[in-house]
Structure 1
Amino acid sequence: MKDNKLTKNILNKIKEYKIHESDILSVCPIDLSFEGEYILGYIFLTKDYLGVCESDIPSGYTHFFRGTKVHKKDEDEDLAEYEVKLFDLKKIEHIHVERMIGAVLLSAEYDGSPMKIASLTNTYLEQLNLFVRHTKNIKNGKDFDADIVGKEAEEEDEELLYCPICGTMYPDPAKKVCPKCTNKRTIFARVLKYFFKYRFSIAILFLSYALGAAISVVWPYLTGKVLFDHILEKDSEYLATFGLAGKFTLALGLLALIMIGSRIIEEITNVVQMALMARVATSTVNDIKTDVFSAMSRLSLNFFTSKQTGGLMTRVLSDSNRVTEFFIDGIPSVFIHGITIIITFVVMYRLNWQMALIACILLPLLVFMTVKLRPGLWNLSGKRHRAEKAVSSKANDNLTGARVVKAFGQEDAEIERFTNPNNNLKDAEINIVKLRNKFTILYSLVQEISSIWIWIIGVFFVLKTDKIDLGVLLTFVGYVAHLNGPMNFFSRVFRMWSESINAAQRLFEIIDSIPEIVEKENPVRLMKPRGEIELSNVTFGYTVSRNVLKNINLKVKEGEVLGIVGRSGAGKSTLVNLISRLYDVKEGSIKIDGVDVKDLSLSDLRKNVAMVSQDTYIFMGSVAKNIAYGNENATGEEIIRAAKLAGAHDFISKMPDGYDTVIGASGKDLSGGEKQRISIARAILADPKILILDEATASVDTETEKAIQNSLKLLVKGRTTLSIAHRLSTLRDADRLIVIDNGRIVEEGTHAELDKNEDGIFHKLNELQNKSLAVTNF
């Protein structure tokens, strides 16, 4: 936790009350007045007092919001005029945090009357929660940091959440990777490792590139200097070096054959290049997608609940393909085209250094402009990805919720909503094309100006002097024209680099993500599970600002059927999610057979805890494969038996291909009750020791519910069962019921015992349901 300290100004002021810096036990910043205006301030704690220090914001003071820059004390803050209030700790009772909209309020009873102590934004909520716990410990006569588990003690200093170079908040504080300051060379090296597996194919690819480049470099020399200055000019002295003195026709024929052969070899190298590029590119994309998908599979459930499906799909599909473009087509071409340009200029220099100088005089300008334009490509590539993600997410939401869209007649409204992200993507693409065109125009302009200069000055030298022969001029023109391909490539390569490294960075963000649920080294194996569950002082919340479960203590015996009851949002589903360790508790512990679930092997835990959720999902595939999802080695007989126990056999038998019928993703061809029964069959076939039924009969009619309940009576024998249900009648046969309200267990007993308590929540819920059924039957 951030080590907050009072400013020198405040420390000097509280000395008037005989409070010294050594007396301060805990400090929390505050930044709001009760009227909602930004202020500067702190609350502090001593053994005898709770103090509040507030000041208006000084003129010229800059307020930094979380995620933009680390807020550091500066001279403006230290010079602020603080008003100090002290409250006798003995008179403070029931201190608590009230959550408001975008802010929180620290309240208590002071000398028997309600009192507002301080107001602050959610930026300091975690620190405030710790401050309140310190205060309660002092009130209860404990050490101020007693009973505060290591999690708070190990919380990172807030400044460690920000990049020290640019001040940007880390997207994932656990990794501490800043997208703005990431070393591009490191990303490049990591991607390059994916291609080492195919180094033999890449070596052949480089050789074919080198051979093609050599032919392209020699070609202008053959068609210029050799053809015009030696063969057509009948240069016997030159031909004599090849034993062809005076044989001009034969020399011309041999040159023609060499040129034809060169073209044939060049085409063969092109075919080899395309074949190898296709093989290496597709294999590498496959490897990258596999790694990304594997990394996503290892991540905790919380990762997926905080991300849009469309955005993740963009990374897996689109980004994987973009990564390979530069490495397959770009790197070899950079090497070959770079060597080609160097060799070309060397040959041109050997032929005529003055003409070579004229040809390359604009290169410094080209390099300067490239350095100036290149950073824009990186930023635009990131914007294009965000626009693509927004479009994919919107399309995914619309397709997934197509039934709702049509039911409410919102087709036109959805088209209108899609237009905005789609236009943003269009604008991003146009901006990239505009910048890309600047590169293309710049490189083409340099090439064309060089070509025109060579023609003008070369023709002048041929006509007015004897320094250049016609063949040399044609050779120069050929080489300048030959540079057109490499120059065009270098106008594109920076775009390829930016898009590839940008996409690789996003992929590595997923690959490097640290799962919240991690299996410890040498975990305990559940070889002979009994199914005993114990929760001790369990507290949990999906966010820091709100705990869903508070101090839950519960013990479930082996083979016991426990019913869990409560209003919507009370924390029932959260409780069972913690038992199967889809999330980890913030405080307390959960034990199965006396072993903390954090110490258990995840594979054993998930194998022995099966859940039938109210949110069922049917995978694309046959009915049999969906039922056998948790036990792929199940036989056909076992699958049919599970379906019969779940009451699913009859409707499956009526399908066109029975158990081999292919059902669509999410079970769109099935009713809610049919999907629920397949889900129950899936859990039955998994044969778990602990069975969790989270509204297992919520989507079925009364008749089907009775059939499933009869099946479940057989299923729960010998198993520990936790059953959540809003229909309280389905829990009559449970050994014990607990009622959860506002995150706490408020009632416990059998169905009959709880129903007798007329002031209890269970009795009221049961009475409401009975009245509702009576009205329905009427």
Structure 2
Amino acid sequence: MSQDNKPKTRPRRQRGGFGGGRAAMMPAEKAKDFKGTLKRLINYLKPQAFKILLVIIFTIVSVAFTISAPKILGQATNELFGGVISKQLPAGMTKDQVIAGLKARGQDQMAEMISGMELTPGKGVDFDAILHILIILAGVYLLASVFQWLQQYIMASVAQGTVYRLRRDVDKKLAKLPLKYYDDHPHGDILSRVTNDVDNIAHTLQQSLTQLVHATVTVIGVLIMMFSISSLLAWISLIVIPLSLIVTMLIAKQSQKQFIAQWDSTGNLNGHIEEMFTGHNIVKAFNRQDEAIERFDEENERLYKASFKAQFISGIIHPAINFLNNLNYVAVCVIGGIRVANGIITLGDVQAFIQYSRQFTQPIVQTASIMNILQSTVASAERVFELLDEQEEIPDTDNPVVLDDIKGHVKFEHVYFRYKPDVPLIEDMNLDAQPGHTIAIVGPTGAGKTTLVNLLMRFYEIDSGRITVDGVDIRDMRRDDLRKNFGMVLQDTWLFNGTIKENIAYGKENATDDEIIAAARAAYVDHFVRTLPDGYNTVLNDDASNISQGQKQLLTIARAFLADPRILILDEATSSVDTRTEMLIQKAMAKLMKDRTSFVIAHRLSTIRDADNILVMNNGRIIEQGNHQELMAARGFYYDLYNSQFLGAYADVDAV
């Protein structure tokens, strides 16, 4: 939604500032310079260094409490098991006497097991001691949760603060980039860098980074605890790690192919749906519904097969790893049971070790997954940094000239310009537009008409020569000061998601309702707006498809009326309206252009017959110049162009 008359998005422009592109939302590939980009991303985290240190400390503390819990729970198990065994032994005897008696009766294994236990013959289970241990255990789990919440809370602040600065830098950069950047890059790609890639970085910083720290600390802590209990069992558990990695890599290699096919099929299906949806009327008009459905079924079937294979193959990883973990579990239980029976370790230690072995493999697999995510994140960061490194517009002069009362005298003096260094376009252009005159610019496609306007607005910088407004070189003025004196009505209408009133008011900051309505009446907008259910408060959707193309054009003209500029630029502003509306707009334009310098790019030559000066352009040059009568009398390029539109049309009618 729009607020304060500011739209969410910028106008989408092709060369010359018009047009649009389709967003291409693609998964990021691997980074070209992983180390360099990662280092630069880390630099964005430096202002948050203290918070990150707190996150690491809290993570270590949280993990320390978490991994101490199985050991404490093992003590409760030992206390319970020892109490059960103690109850079965004769009271009044010492532990050494019981062991000696068992060995005398030939029960050596039982004696060895008891020798490794803490017990008092005949005492039974000490439930108070077990309760005390469980209270401690509950406190440990509570503290682990508190510190884990604290590190997540602080990391959320770190991630969002970092991404906030990154988004701010990107937005500032977009405002400083020349129009050439937008012409040379698909708009979908720019949008993907600003949204998808930045969001990918935000997600990784907030989730994956803490998970990586947590997983690393957990692996180290659990490994220490496992070796402290039994080095033999620890080495047995470590064997599972390389086996798990090998299985994961082999399966992932096969599933990756299917995921690529899935992405391709998804793109094809989405493209087909978009085409059929946007061209729904055409599909119906040519009775192509069955063909469209058949094509959809084919693409849907292809996507189903690719997705099924991808999910099936990747789904094997989890049960395969679980199988290896279960084998490890069996080995730990059997060997641990034997060692308990031999009195080498206690039953509680075996129980604790089993829990540690369960905790050990998960962070390792998680770390491997995070490393893949990190590859994608660094690739996203690289795309964002590429945008931030793009060459900016030439900075405005330090001592700009400010024209308070502009007259509108525009001159091109020996102007040279080319988009590509080896492809000349405008060469030695000279033009003198007197204040209040209407300058029409005509010519075939690619003649340089829109380029002339781009140079005048400083969307592009000229190679040599100069352009002046009231005798002042436009390069000696700030771009903002220059452009506020211009009003533009383009063939490619641009309206944002907001009310009609907000769209008209975009032409003037803090415009009053009376000014908006007056501009609407001048552009013949007021009548059709009042026929809408909500009038001026009618909300236009994202592409303003809830009003006609002609009505959209009228709204952009009303916006120009409201701006009340000294210099007008009209790019075939009436091309999208019917003949009757065109006649009304021509009258309105005549009133709007009165006493203002106007540049009119025209394709329909009937609309510029009354222009003070008509420039006929071809291949970047002004090949003819004069008013309509003079150019017709000269019987040159303009004469042929004019007759091709009118006499040719009559000839076609006669032929019919």
Change (3 A) 1:421 1:519: farther
| Cα pair 1:614 1:694 within 8 Å, conserved | yes
3-state SS of paired residue (1:534): strand
1:133 matched residue in structure 2: none
Structure 1 residue identity aligned to 2:551: E
Deviates more, 1:378-387 or 1:704-713: 378-387
Name the one with the larger strand percent: 1
- 1:609-688 pair list within 5 angstroms: 609-688=486-565
2:223 matched residue in structure 1: 345
1:532 matched residue in structure 2: 409
Q: Runs of 5+ in structure 2 lacking a partner?
A: 1-28, 87-93, 96-115
Aligned residue among 625, 635, 652 for 1:748: 625
1:38 matched residue in structure 2: none
Change (3 A) 1:207 1:368: same
Structure 2 residue identity aligned to 1:571: G
- Residues in 1 aligned to 2:51 and 2:468: alpha-carbon distance in whole angstroms: 53
- Residues in 2 aligned to 1:523 and 1:300: alpha-carbon distance in whole angstroms: 21
1:160 matched residue in structure 2: none
Aligned residue among 217, 232, 235 for 1:354: 232
The two structures, once aligned, show a CA RMSD in angstroms of 4.4
Aligned residue among 629, 638, 646 for 1:762: 638
Aligned residue among 430, 451, 454 for 2:329: 451
Aligned residue among 398, 402, 409 for 1:522: 398
Q: Give the number of equivalent residue pairs.
A: 592
- Residues in 1 aligned to 2:398 and 2:592: alpha-carbon distance in whole angstroms: 33
3-state SS of paired residue (1:621): coil
- Residues in 2 aligned to 1:560 and 1:765: alpha-carbon distance in whole angstroms: 23
Aligned residue among 430, 433, 440 for 1:556: 433
* Shift in Å, 1:550: 4.1
Name the one with the larger helix percent: 2
Alpha-carbon displacement from aligned partner over 1:270-289 (angstroms, at most 9, x marks no partner): 66666666666666656555
1:188 matched residue in structure 2: 38
Establish whether residue 572 from structure 1 lines up as the match of residue 432 from structure 2.
Answer: no
Structure 2 residue identity aligned to 1:213: V
Establish whether residue 726 from structure 1 lines up as the match of residue 603 from structure 2.
Answer: yes
* Shift in Å, 1:251: 0.7
| Cα pair 1:221 1:475 within 8 Å, conserved | yes
Alpha-carbon displacement from aligned partner over 1:229-285 (angstroms, at most 9, x marks no partner): 345425999999xxxx99922111112222333444455556666666666666665
Establish whether residue 462 from structure 1 lines up as the match of residue 340 from structure 2.
Answer: yes
- Residues in 1 aligned to 2:197 and 2:389: alpha-carbon distance in whole angstroms: 16
Alpha-carbon displacement from aligned partner over 1:23-46 (angstroms, at most 9, x marks no partner): xxxxxxxxxxxxxxxxxxxxxxxx
- Residues in 2 aligned to 1:553 and 1:409: alpha-carbon distance in whole angstroms: 54
Change (3 A) 1:354 1:764: closer
- Residues in 2 aligned to 1:198 and 1:513: alpha-carbon distance in whole angstroms: 26
1:607 matched residue in structure 2: 484
| Cα pair 2:170 2:388 within 8 Å, conserved | yes
- Residues in 1 aligned to 2:255 and 2:422: alpha-carbon distance in whole angstroms: 40
- Residues in 1 aligned to 2:250 and 2:264: alpha-carbon distance in whole angstroms: 24
* Shift in Å, 1:722: 0.9
2:107 matched residue in structure 1: none
| Cα pair 2:30 2:376 within 8 Å, conserved | no
Change (3 A) 1:361 1:772: closer
| Cα pair 2:503 2:555 within 8 Å, conserved | yes
3-state SS of paired residue (1:318): helix
- Residues in 2 aligned to 1:310 and 1:422: alpha-carbon distance in whole angstroms: 25
Structure 2 residue identity aligned to 1:223: L
TM-score by length of 1: 0.65
3-state SS of paired residue (1:665): coil
1:334 matched residue in structure 2: 212
3-state SS of paired residue (2:506): helix
Change (3 A) 1:772 1:386: same
Change (3 A) 1:413 1:285: farther
- 1:34-45 pair list within 5 angstroms: none
3-state SS of paired residue (1:647): coil
Change (3 A) 1:491 1:727: closer
| Cα pair 2:255 2:309 within 8 Å, conserved | no
1:702 matched residue in structure 2: 579
| Cα pair 2:434 2:597 within 8 Å, conserved | yes
| Cα pair 2:484 2:565 within 8 Å, conserved | yes
- Residues in 1 aligned to 2:333 and 2:468: alpha-carbon distance in whole angstroms: 86
3-state SS of paired residue (2:454): helix
* Shift in Å, 1:493: 1.6
2:134 matched residue in structure 1: 256
| Cα pair 2:31 2:375 within 8 Å, conserved | no
Change (3 A) 1:723 1:482: closer
1:476 matched residue in structure 2: 353
Change (3 A) 1:302 1:493: same
Alpha-carbon displacement from aligned partner over 1:266-315 (angstroms, at most 9, x marks no partner): 55556666666666666665655554455444433343344444444444
| Cα pair 1:309 1:396 within 8 Å, conserved | no
Change (3 A) 1:491 1:741: closer
| Cα pair 1:208 1:269 within 8 Å, conserved | yes
Alpha-carbon displacement from aligned partner over 1:64-118 (angstroms, at most 9, x marks no partner): xxxxxxxxxxxxxxxxxxxxxxxxxxxxxxxxxxxxxxxxxxxxxxxxxxxxxxx
- Residues in 1 aligned to 2:299 and 2:174: alpha-carbon distance in whole angstroms: 26
Change (3 A) 1:326 1:619: closer
- The answer to which structure, 1 or 2, has the higher relative contact order (CA under 8 A, 6+ apart) is 2
Establish whether residue 219 from structure 1 lines up as the match of residue 69 from structure 2.
Answer: yes
Structure 1 residue identity aligned to 2:607: T
Establish whether residue 506 from structure 1 lines up as the match of residue 383 from structure 2.
Answer: yes
Change (3 A) 1:281 1:424: farther
- Residues in 2 aligned to 1:481 and 1:311: alpha-carbon distance in whole angstroms: 44
Change (3 A) 1:435 1:304: farther
Change (3 A) 1:212 1:420: farther
Of all paired residues, the percent bearing the same amino acid is: 31
| Cα pair 2:76 2:134 within 8 Å, conserved | no
Change (3 A) 1:471 1:307: same
- Residues in 2 aligned to 1:489 and 1:233: alpha-carbon distance in whole angstroms: 38
Change (3 A) 1:581 1:533: same
- Residues in 2 aligned to 1:422 and 1:687: alpha-carbon distance in whole angstroms: 54
1:300 matched residue in structure 2: 178
Structure 2 residue identity aligned to 1:233: G
| Cα pair 1:739 1:748 within 8 Å, conserved | yes
Change (3 A) 1:557 1:435: farther
* Shift in Å, 1:620: 1.2
- Residues in 1 aligned to 2:387 and 2:289: alpha-carbon distance in whole angstroms: 34
- Residues in 1 aligned to 2:213 and 2:44: alpha-carbon distance in whole angstroms: 19
Change (3 A) 1:322 1:375: farther
- Residues in 1 aligned to 2:381 and 2:281: alpha-carbon distance in whole angstroms: 36
3-state SS of paired residue (1:233): helix
- Residues in 1 aligned to 2:371 and 2:313: alpha-carbon distance in whole angstroms: 11
Aligned residue among 233, 246, 251 for 2:82: 233
- Residues in 2 aligned to 1:635 and 1:221: alpha-carbon distance in whole angstroms: 73
- Residues in 2 aligned to 1:421 and 1:296: alpha-carbon distance in whole angstroms: 38
* Shift in Å, 1:501: 1.8
Deviates more, 1:197-206 or 1:712-721: 197-206
